[in-house]
Copies of this chain bind each other. A is one copy, B any other.
């Protein structure tokens, strides 16, 4: 459906948004245990989220991740773009090259309802 990475990223973002504040940072260990996501792998994903401004972080003791002013308003699709690229959006559900309302594939209508653009 979507990549596992996307699921991890989204859940971690929500986790940090719920449990963290600027004065109450959430550690990687905490997140990975709380959500059952492989520790090191989640580390990589968090780097990406911070790089793209979805969350903020600080290093050092009592450092960790915390939401910023944007976090609550970020569209899901932004995170999806970060983790899965935007092929999900450009492509039809079946990966057919040129599909649109004029040249629809057999599934075009069924899936139009599920497309997020």
Contacts and interface: CB of A to CB of B under 8 A. Distances in A.
A48 B4 CA distance: 26
B1 A106 contact: no
A50 interface: no
Nearest to A94: B7
A61 interface: no
A101 interface: no
Task: Please classify the interface of chain A as helix (H, G, I), strand (E, B), loop, or mixed, using the class held by over half of its residues.
Answer: loop
Given A113-B113, A114-B114, A4 B107 contact: no
Interface of A: 1-2, 4, 6-7, 10-11, 14, 76, 88, 91, 93-96, 105-107, 110, 113-114
